[in-house]
Structure 1
Amino acid sequence: MPSHAALLYFPKPVLKTLLFSLIVVSLAACSSDDNEAVGAGGGADAGGQPTPGVTVETVETQDVEVSQDYAGRAQGAREVEVRSRIQGILEERLYNEGQIVAAGDSLFRIDQKPSEAMVESARAQQRVAEAELRQAEREWNRISSLYERNAVSERDRDTAQSDRELAEANLSVTQAAVAQAELNLGYTDVKAPLSGVTSLEDLPEGSLVEVGTLLTTIIQQDPVHVRFALPEDDASIQRTARRAMTGDEESQSTSAILIRADGDTYDQKGEVDFTASTLDSRTGSVSARAVFPNKENEIIPGQFVRVRVTLQDMEDVVTVPEDVVSEGAEGAQVFIVEENKAVVRPVELGPVVDGRQVILNGLSEGDNLVVNGHVSLQDGVEVDVSDDEEASDSSEEESN
């Protein structure tokens, strides 16, 4: 075989290795060309990642009312026990049990005959005392005249004067007895001391009642009170309510809204007029009371309700959607856009009001806040600002 033919001969294993190396080199060259083409197109960064799209919201300030809901129970403003003030037989009940009565309405009638007899007896004694006084005055006039003519002794004059004074005192006693008898006669007509709802009668007609016997109970429904408990750390509302209790004209009352068990809001506003001065050691809370008008008796004592209390009025504060706030190395943070770059802003959080987070510090009016597309952002990354929320949402999905 000629010598130049020996140069073209390769063993099979060596030939396979050479072919594999040529294939790898070709693929690497193609990949490098593709990356350069993508980088020149402007749709991705130097690392091959697409520019994230975000939606921004211009930061504005507003006045915010901070409120809190508390569970409570409705109660009547007053609950008064109606008791008998004299002894006698209960003759008649003059109202329907559970009926709403007005102050001064007759509720029960106690047998009046014994009281009427006592009035007549007291008046008769008064007439006797009046006659005795007239006789004592006539005697005094006669004796005093004789004394001036030295016809009687000084002792006789003093006796006549004492008899007249005793007759005057006795007349006063009988007059008081008449007034007491007439007062007892009036007590036979048991009247409602206030307007409200009556309870069941405690004794039926025909029962013998003593002085102080409970006849019924009246619950005043207008206004209605709601008792609730304040957590220990709600110091601002506690201070405001206590100032209102002391009559401090400079302090504004704490307003309250009542929410029924079905979620409906009561159309009459109330106010917190009382907070306890001590902390309940068992519950770690402070008892409080709100007062609401209830002319139509829509709120029934005993109902479970919620009281929405205004804790604070904040002026010119920034609010943002809750979901734009994330946790960073320095705490709570948000992203804003400056010169088409995402910038991290640490923020100080306040309360959440109507689904929006109050920002106490960290944002200024006019800042461009990232509200969509912020989930995978990094500080300093260039972003594509868009008003299309769907584009931002799709960008987040691709990043995830």
Structure 2
Amino acid sequence: MPALPRRYSLYTGLSFVMIATLLAGCSDEPQNDGGGGGGNGGQGTPAPEVREERAELTSVKVNQDYAGRARGAREVEVRARIQGILEERQYSEGQVVEEGDSLFRIDPDPARAAVRGAEAQRQVAQANLSQADREWNRIASLFQRNAVSERERDSAQSALDLAQANLAVAEAGLIQARLELGYTDVKAPVSGVTSLEDLPEGSLVQQGTLLTTIIQQDPIHVRFALPEDDAAIQRRARLAMSGSDEPSNLPATLVMVNGEEYSKGGEVDFTASILDPRTGSVSARAVFPNPDYEIVPGQFVRVRIQLQNLEDVFTVKETSVGQGPDGARVFVVDDSSKVSSRAVELGPVVDGRQVVLSGLEEGDRVVTSGMVSLRDGMDVKVADPENGEPE
């Protein structure tokens, strides 16, 4: 075998010397004997740094948002109740009108003529009744003196009855004529916002012709869908709708598209009694006051419903909660800066904070970060919350 170059031999010798030195240095370090219930692993290993927060009792409202669309409380069709020529529209399209405001005028002259004719018919009927009454009085007096026959008396009585009936018919005709005259002034049946007119002025309208539509926007309705498993909400809403004495008010908050809450609160007043097989959800409705017409029908909104009001619970950062052999747990720092794990019962997550129903006590120092390598009984250094330096 040929001899190795002198330079290669020198490098190999130096490598062996360096490895031997490193091994000797490692053997001089103190060894962890594995006891002590999970210490820091030796005096040379620094305690891990963690952050903490104090556990404080609080009250938490658990809300759930549902997507929905606004709709008018009522959409009323305004129709002609009499035949005639549409003479005038008396509102601006899209205008807010109040109940009883005049919207259209149909030519009233034919109706006025009909009223005058009905009044004349009533006068004729009244005159006939007066004549029949006088005739009855004469015949009755003569019959008592046996001057006329019973047949003549019966004829006078029948004439009086007929005259009274004719007067009633004439009075009914006059009432109908006056009603039809009133129908020439088409009024708003409800307060709301008007749509476009369906027919221009000068059109001949028939009885029942659609003239416009009024959408009542105060209150405003929001329809949304509840998941199949939200049985508690469905039950309370049905109780509210049925007028039951059992407390059933289910308050709701309206959240606008920009994320801001509507200033006026409402309530869920209806849920359907059947499940929609296409969506697996139940239709529901919330009602909100809308006096200033801030909410527009067709607008996309969210309905926020308070599902629970949890009293005397704790909330921690979501990063504080880990999983142990027995379920969820958190680490708590004691006065000697040692950590111990606590099994906790979790509630819902609200506004990015985890609700803890049990397992903590007020004043506990809960570790919020640096939990990855922690074990029970381990010493830790708690960072100063103001500048992040360990205490």
- For structure 1, which segment, 190-199 or 271-280, has the greater mean C-alpha deviation from structure 2 after superposition? 271-280
In 2 relative to 1, CA 60–223 (structure 1 residues): closer, same or farther, beyond 3 Å? Answer: same
Alignment of 1:1-400 (within 5 A): 31-33=26-28, 35=30, 45-46=41-42, 48-338=44-334, 340-388=337-385
More helix by share: 1
Tell me how far 1:27 sits from its aligned partner: 6.5
TM-fit CA distance, 1:277: 1.3
Give the fraction of aligned pairs with identical amino acids, expressed as a percent: 63
Larger mean CA deviation between 19-28 and 368-377 belongs to 19-28
Whether contact under 8 Å (1:73, 1:302) holds in the other structure is yes
> SS in structure 1 opposite 2:211?
strand
**Structure 1, residues 346-378: CA drift from partner, whole Å, max 9, x if none?**
222211111111112332333332123223212
Q: Give, as a single letter, the amino acid of the residue that structure 1 aligns with 2:63.
A: S
1:22–1:306 distance in 2 versus 1, CA, 3 Å: closer
Moved more, 316-325 or 354-363: 354-363
2:228 maps to amino acid: E
Superposition RMSD in Å: 2.6
* 1:275 shift after superposition: 1.3
- Aligned AA (2:249): S
Q: 1:302 Cα shift? A: 1.0
**Structure 2 contact 319–369 (Cα < 8 Å) conserved:** no
Structure 1 residues 28, 123: closer, same or farther in 2, change over 3 A? closer
Tell me the TM-score normalized by structure 1: 0.85
Segment drifting more, 212-221 vs 115-124: 115-124
Q: Is the 1:71–1:304 contact (alpha carbons within 8 Å) kept by the matching residues of 2?
A: yes
**CA distance in 2 between partners of 1:82 and 1:177 (Å):** 25
Corresponding residue for 1:8? none
The C-alpha deviation readout for 1:267-311, integer Å capped at 9, x for no partner, is 111111111111111111111111111111111111111111111
What is the TM-score when the length of structure 2 is the normalising length?
A: 0.87
- Following superposition, the deviation at residue 23 of structure 1 comes to 9.2
Kindly tell me: are residues 151 and 57 of structure 1, through their superposed partners in 2, closer, same or farther at Cα, counting changes over 3 Å?
same
> Residues 208 and 24 from structure 1, CA distance in 2 versus in 1: closer, same or farther, beyond 3 angstroms?
closer
SS of aligned partner of 1:366 = coil
**Aligned with 1:323: secondary structure?**
helix
CA–CA separation in structure 1 for the residues paired with 2:314 and 2:324: 20
Unpaired runs of 5+ residues, structure 2, are 1-13, 32-38
For structure 1, the 5+ residue unaligned runs are 1-18, 37-42, 396-400
Given that 1:45 and 1:51 are in contact with CA atoms closer than 8 Å, whether structure 2 keeps it comes out as no
- Tell me the SS of whatever aligns to 2:176: helix
Matched to 1:194, the amino acid is V
Query: Is residue 30–residue 42 contact of structure 2 (8 Å, CA) maintained in 1?
Result: no
- SS at structure 1 position matched to 2:285: strand
